Amino acid sequence: MHRLTRTITLLLLPFGLVWANSPNIVYIMADDLGIGDVKCYGGDRCKIETPALDSLARDGMLFTDAHAVASVCVPSRIGIMTGRYAWRFAKPAKSGPWGFLNPQLPVGTFTVGSMLQGAGYRTGYVGKWHLGTVMRTTDRLNQGPDNVNYDLPLEIGPNDYGFDYSFVLPGSLDMYPYVFAKNGHFQGKVTARKGWSAFNRVGPAAEDFEDYKVLGDFAREAEGFIERNAEQARNGKPFFLYVALTSPHTPTSPSPAFEGTSDLGLYGDFVRETDATVGRVLDAIDANGLTESTLVIATSDHGAAPYAGNKRAAIPGLIRELEKLGHYSSGIYRGYKFTVFEGGLRVPLLVRWPGTVDAGSRCDRLVGLIDISATLADITGVELNTDEAPDSISFAALLEDPRGAAPRVSLVMQSPLAFALRHERWKLALTPASGSRGLWGTRPEPEQAWKGALEKFGSRPSETDLRKAPFVQLFDLESDVRESTNLAFERPEIAERLAHILDATVERGRSTPGPALRNDVPTVGLHRNARPWLETFVGEPQ
């Protein structure tokens, strides 16, 4: 019998409703960590030691075909948090720059935090938020660099999305404001203006905020949350901790204790510190006697940034300098962050759960990070409503039987400029280019790719034409995981079939069984990012 069925007994505790033997859950997500940056994935092509992450592979399960649903931060994180594709949500009517981003989700939206909170879990969020907040302003206008009142708490923040405790940076580490918010209250005096080496975005900052201290601050907060909740966890009140690290996303700023510790250089130092931060979280679990009762999941939000490397500045194509040294952040895969290629979307996924997940096991089945909600619901005995996590498919069964049938056969993914569909062995990218503007060295660049495709086509394309060669790329990942050969001309029937699957996924409002749902926007517009290039070269499509 499926061992996960041990969670079917409902216990009524003073703390709320929980399922017997439901584990503590710690979800750790790095920022811009490439699959090849982790030694147990990269092997000889990885020049960085990552002992903490490798220990999860040794003591648990390594997934080889795990994917983010977006190769850029915000939509990837929306999918993870809600179990719903980000493109189904309406964008906020207004928004501020960088860390002043307004809420990407309405308050009351289903989240993995609210789900587990409702199941009796004590929930915490530590790290990069980047899903938007509402800050109180001095002029009652929308938040921005010059009008936030940092003496007042957030009007809307992580605690409004299912988290009992939060300690967050509003955006990325290179996005002002540079100040932590603890349970919605800003920490420190925001009277300084600072900027970091990567993009030199200078903006409001707390007086004592320093980029190289942030990982240490997050580690201490995570340790503190685990320690504070350990006794209740041992007595049947489990906790859920979401740890969203800001590294190795730029600025590449290892602390003095880690600078110079990697043979690769500055980038290696920063990845080593990222791994050590994961190690501190694992040590806290172990030190509090919770190893056997805690499910740990570690991953990255998408692939490595093409502008990151052994310099503190963000430079187009800088990552290729690491490749000259024998280190490949994307592993054997093509592309980086921002692209529709595997290097931007395939991520490390490591799971440790003693007693359920066999040590040293490996799973080659397709899973998406968007599946976290349904998987945790399955594990904790939560029954999802038909409109909750409509694109999330549980892979809980794979934790016990990694060679079992794949629960997921299709996955919609996106880059800033294109969509892609993975279906079984096939992958269709709705672009002739990389899916990125090429600003940071991603190839092929859209101008050349679109111009070449239009010249090859020979006339103005219709919307239907845009779903076929030469405007799409089709790859057989079973025989060509490096995505070196576009089969769209050779196998048009496969491209057409995948395009229809994509259409159906969009139109039904869900990709799981259940009644059809409505997207928040009337038309998702999977080809909308093609329009600028068509207008540039041939005018509007017919």
At how many degrees (to 10) do helices 214-234 and 266-287 cross? Answer: 20
C-alpha span between 124 and 167 (Å, rounded)? 8
Residue where the block lists tokens 């420190």? 188
Write down all domains in the chain, each with its CATH number in brackets.
23-408 (3.40.720.10), 411-537 (3.30.1120)
pLDDT, mean over the chain: 93
User: Sorting pLDDT into bands at 50, 70 and 90, what band is 12?
Assistant: very low
Element (H, E) at 50: none
448-466 tens-digit pLDDT: 999 999 999 998 888 889 8
Closest by CA position to 222, among listed 277, 272, 267, 268: 277
Residue 299, pLDDT score:
99
Residue 264, pLDDT score:
98
| HEC sequence for 183-220 | CCEECCCCCEEECCCCCCCCEEECCCCCHHHHHHHHHH
Residue where the block lists tokens 């980086």? 336
* Antiparallel, parallel or unpaired: β 239-248 and 410-415: unpaired
Q: Please give the residue that has the higher pLDDT: either 197 or 107.
A: 107
CA angle 158, 162, 168 (to 5 degrees): 25
Burial 420-451 (b: 16+ CB within 10 A, else e): bbbbeebbbbbbbbbbbbbebbbbbbbeebbb
| Bridge partner residues of 10 (DSSP) | 19
Beta carbons of 517 and 387 less than 8 angstroms apart: yes
Closest by CA position to 194, among listed 214, 213, 208: 208
* Portion of the chain with pLDDT greater than 90, in percent: 87
Q: Is the pLDDT of residue 300 over 90?
A: yes
Residue 464, pLDDT score:
86
C-alpha span between 140 and 213 (Å, rounded)? 33
Q: What is the mean pLDDT of residues 7-11?
A: 44
Q: What is the mean pLDDT of residues 293-320?
A: 97
Query: What would you report as the CA-atom Rg of the chain, rounded to the nearest whole angstrom?
Result: 22
Residue 399, pLDDT score:
98
Q: Where are the alpha helices (DSSP H) in 137-294?
A: 214-234, 266-287
Residue 368, pLDDT score:
98
Residue 8, pLDDT score:
39
81-97 tens-digit pLDDT: 999 999 999 999 889 99
250-288 tens-digit pLDDT: 999 999 999 999 999 999 999 999 999 999 999 999 999
Beta carbons of 295 and 352 less than 8 angstroms apart: yes
Q: What is the mean pLDDT of residues 396-418?
A: 96
Residue 484, pLDDT score:
98
Dihedral (CA of 464, 340, 249, 440) sign: negative
Coil, helix or strand at residue 21: coil
User: Sorting pLDDT into bands at 50, 70 and 90, what band is 532?
Assistant: low
CA of 251: how far to CAs of 145, 198, 246, 315, 465, in Å?
Answer: 20, 5, 9, 12, 42
Determine how many CB atoms are found less than 10 A away from the CB of residue 329: 32
Q: Is the pLDDT of residue 432 over 60?
A: yes
- Up-side HSE of residue 196: CA atoms within 13 Å toward CB? 24
Closest by CA position to 98, among listed 186, 197, 177: 177
307-365 tens-digit pLDDT: 999 999 999 999 999 999 999 999 999 999 999 999 999 999 999 999 999 999 999 99
| Amino acid (1-letter code) at residue 22 | S
* Portion of the chain with pLDDT greater than 70, in percent: 93
Q: What is the mean pLDDT of residues 16-26?
A: 77
* Antiparallel, parallel or unpaired: β 418-423 and 24-31: unpaired
Q: Is the pLDDT of residue 495 over 70?
A: yes
Q: Is the pLDDT of residue 528 over 60?
A: no
Q: Which DSSP symbol is given to 290?
A: -
Residue 430, pLDDT score:
94
Coil, helix or strand at residue 539: coil
C-alpha span between 119 and 238 (Å, rounded)? 10
Q: Is the pLDDT of residue 535 over 80?
A: no
Q: Please give the residue that has the higher pLDDT: either 528 or 443.
A: 443
C-alpha span between 65 and 43 (Å, rounded)? 16
Lowest mean pLDDT among 63-77, 233-247, 416-430, 518-532: 518-532
CA of 275: how far to CAs of 258, 350, 522, in Å?
Answer: 11, 13, 43
